[in-house]
């Protein structure tokens, strides 16, 4: 089972097992990801699209790889079982992705933040106190996700915190 992932550079050819995670539409950029299982075995994956972020949700036994063109959902128990979601299919151009300490995936496009209940078709928007633009997930501090954004239309920078326990967003 995959327990750890990280975006990396292309490994030396033949040094590690490699798998190509292809997608239906060809793009120029590629992302390399190093996977590690519970026995510390490593392998590398190659994904279409520029690198954005990766994380493992232990709650759903799913590894997520977000590139500039696709969101890949990979079964942690069987990495050859994966789905490449085109942003058109999702209804969002995803910009950010993270997993809460409890294993809940959190996504955002430029304007909305949402979580899912098991599958991407079951999206639940997390409403901020104001309308946002240019959302960026920064870092976790225990159960608190620090977020920077701009107030929609006005362009004023704002700092927010999402509490993973309550799934509520407040000003920092």
Residue-number span of the structural domain to which 140 is assigned: 92-172
End residue of a domain, out of 88, 109, 127: 88
Indicate whether 120 and 133 sit together in one domain: yes
Question: 7 pairs with which residues across the strands?
Answer: 33
Indicate whether 83 and 1 sit together in one domain: yes
Indicate whether 22 and 83 sit together in one domain: yes
Q: What is the pLDDT of residues 109-164, one digit of tens each?
A: 999 999 987 777 788 999 999 999 999 999 999 999 999 999 999 999 999 999 99
Indicate whether 152 and 81 sit together in one domain: no
Indicate whether 125 and 56 sit together in one domain: no
Give Cα separations from 6 to 18, 36, 54, 123, 138 (angstroms). 14, 9, 6, 25, 17
Q: What is the pLDDT of residues 96-107, one digit of tens each?
A: 999 999 999 999
Helices (H), the chain: 87-90
Indicate whether 66 and 140 sit together in one domain: no
DSSP string, 118-142: SEEEEEEE---SS-EEEEEEEEEET
| Residue of 14, 71, 63, 77 lying closest to 47 (CA atoms) | 71
């Amino acid at each position: 089972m995959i327990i750890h992932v990280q975006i990396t550079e292309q490994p030396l050819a033949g040094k590690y097992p490699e798998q190509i995670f292809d997608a239906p539409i060809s793009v120029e950029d590629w992302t390399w990801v190093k996977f590690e299982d519970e026995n510390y075995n490593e392998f590398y994956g190659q994904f279409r699209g520029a690198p954005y972020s990766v994380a493992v949700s232990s709650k759903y036994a799913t590894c997520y790889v977000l590139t500039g063109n696709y969101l890949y959902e990979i079964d942690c128990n069987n990495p050859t079982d994966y789905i490449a979601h085109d942003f058109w299919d999702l209804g969002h151009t995803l910009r950010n992705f993270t997993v809460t300490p409890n294993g809940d995936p959190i996504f955002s496009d430029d304007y909305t933040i949402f979580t899912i209940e098991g599958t991407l078709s079951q999206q639940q928007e997390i409403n901020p106190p104001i309308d946002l633009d240019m959302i960026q997930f920064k870092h976790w501090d225990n159960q608190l996700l620090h977020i920077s954004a701009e107030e929609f239309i006005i362009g004023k920078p704002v700092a927010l915190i999402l509490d993973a326990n309550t799934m509520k967003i407040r000003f920092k």
